[in-house]
Structure formats: structure tokens, C-alpha cells
Amino acid sequence: MEIDLKEFLDEKVKQYNTPDFIELDPVQIPHMYSLKEDIEISGFLTATISWGNRKMIIRNAKRLMELMGNSPYDFILNHKDKHLQKMDGFVHRTFNFTDLITFIDALKHIYIKEDGLEGIFNKHKTSESLQPAIHHLREEFFSIPHLVRTKKHLPDPLKGSAAKKINMYLRWMIRDDKCGVDFGLWKEISPSILSCPLDVHSGRIARRFGLLKRKQDDAKSVKELDNSLRLLDEKDPVKYDFALFGIGVHEK
């Protein structure tokens, strides 16, 4: 990698990885909470519906938190059927009430039986990647009764998906950016094995800079981009998500 590209992207990280980023991004939802499990669960559900217009994502995520009494962890563990009935009608694009109920039941299962979301990723991480752990999360997640349609909302990178939303969520939970955006909650997982959340914005800019040659936004492209970003910073490669996304969205 040319040194001037690294210097340029490092400057863009400094420009965009700031507290100002929060007010326009879905990451603001888990920032509403201080309890670890509230941050994890609100972040996971927010990431799940993070596609489309960001204002709509934030609005619907806030509504979802309100439906959970703004105590998502307590809601997941202790909700009654009457509480779920109040959620009837919730929808974000193709994520509907039925999907939501499955996600609530699956999260309850994971926090009671599997030591929570962090426990799944700690157990199934490898020395190089969290993509196999995403696969295992999905397997455990859908071990409860569910509709086939709901599985599309938690894609599997081992079946070729770029898994953009869950990779973004993992960045939030694992990377400690010292800037107040990413949380650094999960201390036992190194940010060096994170994968960049690949979407239309970051992919377009990565290709423009020669960091990614593959044209599809899929699991193979995620791996290719990971390899490129790890050459730029082996300890914190996904910090460049801020640069790629920021340039893609704000510097058209």
C-alpha cells in the first residue's frame, strides 16, 4: 500500500471518528444506555434494522426501545404476552412484528442458555476472524421455533453474505476508539479480527482506492477488504470504516 493512501485515510478516520458522528448514526441508540446488556441488546436490534434511510432507522429503533420500556435487557428476560401484543404493528421495511417476536425469543434464549451475545462470540471466534462466530450465533439464534422468512434478517457469512449489519454491530461492541463512538465493551476479543461492514458506500470508495477489486458485495469481498485494511493497520483495521463510509456519504 502506498504510504500516502494510509496517511490520507488515517486523516479521514480522525475527521469522521468523532462524537459528532453519533448524532446522525444508528449507533446513537445503544449510547442511550449504561448497563452493558442494555447496550448489547439495543445495539443488536438497532443493527438488525440498519438498512435504508438513516433517519428512518433511528426513528424506528427509538420506537422499538420505547416499546421495550427503554429497558431492553429487562424486557428480553421478563416480558409477558401482553407486552408483546403492544408491539403488534411494528415494522421496518421487511422486518415485521413476527420477525421481532422471534428476535426477542431468540435473545432471551441466548442470554439464559448461552452466556449472552458476548459469550457466543468469545466461544466461537478464531485467531483471524469473527465470521465463523456469526455463523454459530445464527445457528443458536434459530434453534428456537421460527419462520423461514425471519432468517434473512441475520445473514450467514459462511453462506456468502457480507453480513454488513452484524459486522457493524461487532465494531460497536469490540472496538474501543477512545473517541466515544465505538464502545469497546467486549474486552476478550481483539479488534484486529473484526471485519469491515461492507455496503454500497464503503465498497465504492474501497474500489476507487484499489483496496477492493471484487465487484460483488459478498463474503469474499469482505475478506479481500479485510486483508487490505490489515496491511494499513493490523491492530485496528476497521477504523477505516469511518473513512470509507464518511467519504462515500459526505464527499460525493
pLDDT for res 3: 64
Whether 204 shows a pLDDT value over 90: the answer reads: yes
Reported pTM: 0.96
For the chain, how many structural domains are there in total? 1
What is the pLDDT confidence band of residue 2, given thresholds at 50, 70 and 90? low
pLDDT for res 249: 86
Lookup: cell for 152: 434473512
Residues of the chain with pLDDT > 90, as a percent, come to 96
Q: What is the mean pLDDT of the chain?
A: 96
Domain containing residue 70:
3-250
Whether 250 shows a pLDDT value over 90: the answer reads: no
pLDDT for res 251: 80
Whether 49 shows a pLDDT value over 90: the answer reads: yes
Closest among 225, 219, 247 to 238, alpha carbons compared: 225
d(CA 175, CA 234): 13
With a CB cutoff of 8 Å and minimum separation 6, the contacts of 84 are 101, 104
